[in-house]
Amino acid sequence: MSHHSESVFRVDKFDVPSTSRDEFIFKLRESHALLDDMDGCIQNYILEQSSGTGRFNIVTFVEWRDQETYEAARSAARARHVASGFEAQTMFDRLGISVDIANYSVVPHA
């Protein structure tokens, strides 16, 4: 599968205590299920660490076709959160989750 150079990759990394795992995974599945149906969503994964010494044990990886579809999805997600009263940071604090959230782009071949 070839990826377009204009793709936006959203990679969210979470350090989730074992006591918070089930509740957090439930919430991730709920929110990521909505992404699959959005225009421009190419790949959408929730990954759980199975080996290694890395700090982050849950990672989400979503590829968007381009910046425009990413921004549209981000706006829609924000609107859903406002409508439902969901605040991610409040949940992270309550569950003791540390996060590293960023967007990435493809490094062109030399």
- Parse the chain into domains and list their residue ranges: 14-104
Q: Class for domain 14-104, per CATH?
A: alpha beta
Q: What is the phi-psi region of residue 12: left when phi exceeds 0, alpha when psi lies from -120 to 50, beta otherwise?
A: beta
Backbone angles phi, psi at 97, to 5 degrees: -100, 130
* Count of CB atoms situated within 10 Å of the CB of 87: 11
Q: Do residues 83 and 37 touch, judged by C-beta distance below 8 A?
A: no
Q: Do residues 38 and 76 touch, judged by C-beta distance below 8 A?
A: yes
pLDDT of residue 67: 94
Structure tokens at 107: 């490094």
pLDDT of residue 37: 87
pLDDT digits (tens, 9 = 90+) for 48-59: 999 998 899 999
pTM: 0.89
